[in-house]
Amino acid sequence: MPHPNYAIDEMISAKSIAARIEELAREIRTEFADTDKLVVVGLLRGSFVFIADLVRELDLAVEVDFLEASSYGDGMESTREVRILKDLRGQIEGRDVLIVEDIVDTGHTLAHVTKFLGSRKPARMKTIALLDKPARREVDFKASYIGFEIPDEFVVGYGIDFAQRNRNLPFIGKVRFIDES
Ligand SMILES: O=P(O)(O)OC[C@H]1O[C@H](OP(=O)(O)OP(=O)(O)O)[C@H](O)[C@@H]1O
Ligand code: HPA
């Protein structure tokens, strides 16, 4: 079914995102200063822009790996069924892991993924989400690091999609539907 017309209003500028990533990178560098075993895991697809900017600010020896998880399909509602579509390439047992996510909404994705990867016995596992939408939480989950807390709006851009579109916007915008009647 085609989606109705919508506009995108800027919520967080590219400049604000870059400034916040610098701050987050400083905190992460301090936390993981003692390790040479850090694996930074990006959750595909939404985190691909965030992880690219974050690892370039980290100034640590890191390995980058990806896991693909999906639960929304083309809609605006979580199916609450998180499917792992692509597993990590490397081993994480005994290693320090930082999971990078674009947004925590209902919490189902990160709750599932942390349980899934936690069972492989990493030495330390932390999570970072650029955006957190606490008003929509359905399962108890809090990321170790959060870029911005946002209100209950459907957002796109900076890697985040609506029906696979708008991932390439350089800013975070909120979707506003246009009533054509
Ligand atoms: O907290 P939740 O309600 O679980 O929502 C967050 C997840 O939803 C989106 O993924 P999606 O399933 O759309 O896959 P994508 O990353 O490929 O866009 C987003 O990228 C997060 O991974
Ligand atoms: O606000 C959102 N926008 C796009 N995808 C999402 N997945 C969870 N929340 C969102």
Please give the pLDDT value at position 44: 98
Q: What separation in angstroms does the CA of 127 have from each of 12, 76, 111, 148?
A: 21, 23, 11, 14
Does the CB atom of residue 96 touch ligand 1 within 6 A? no
pLDDT of residue 134: 98
Q: What is the pLDDT of residue 142?
A: 97
Tell me the sheet residues that pair with 126. 98
The structure tokens listed for 10 are: 């800027």
Is the whole-model pTM more than 0.80? yes
23 alpha carbon, distance to own chain's centre: 17
Q: Is the CB of 105 under 6 A from ligand 2?
A: yes
User: How many angstroms from the chain centroid is the CA of residue 155?
Assistant: 12
pLDDT value at residue 73: 81
Ligand 1 binding pocket includes 35 (Cβ within 6 Å): no
Domains defined for the chain, CATH in brackets = 6-177 (3.40.50.2020)
Angle, vertex CA 119, rays to CA 80 and CA 43, nearest 5 = 50
Q: Specify the ligand 1 atom closest to the Cα of 167.
A: 18
* Residue with token string 């990006």: 42
Cis peptide leading into 45, omega within 30 of 0?
yes
From CA 72, how far away is CA 124, in angstroms rounded? 29
How far is the CA of 106 from the CAs of 78, 82, 116, 123, 126, in angstroms? Answer: 7, 12, 17, 27, 19
From first to last of its 181 residues, what are the pLDDT tens digits of the chain? 556 799 999 999 999 999 999 999 999 999 999 998 899 999 999 999 999 999 999 999 999 999 999 998 888 899 999 999 999 999 999 999 999 999 999 999 999 999 999 999 999 999 999 999 999 999 999 999 999 999 999 999 999 999 999 999 999 999 999 987 6
ipTM confidence: 0.98
Ligand showing the shortest atom-to-Cα distance for residue 142 = 1
Query: Which residues are identified as catalytic?
Result: 105
CB 153 within 8 A of CB 125: no
Q: Which two tokens stand for residue 9?
A: 């209003």
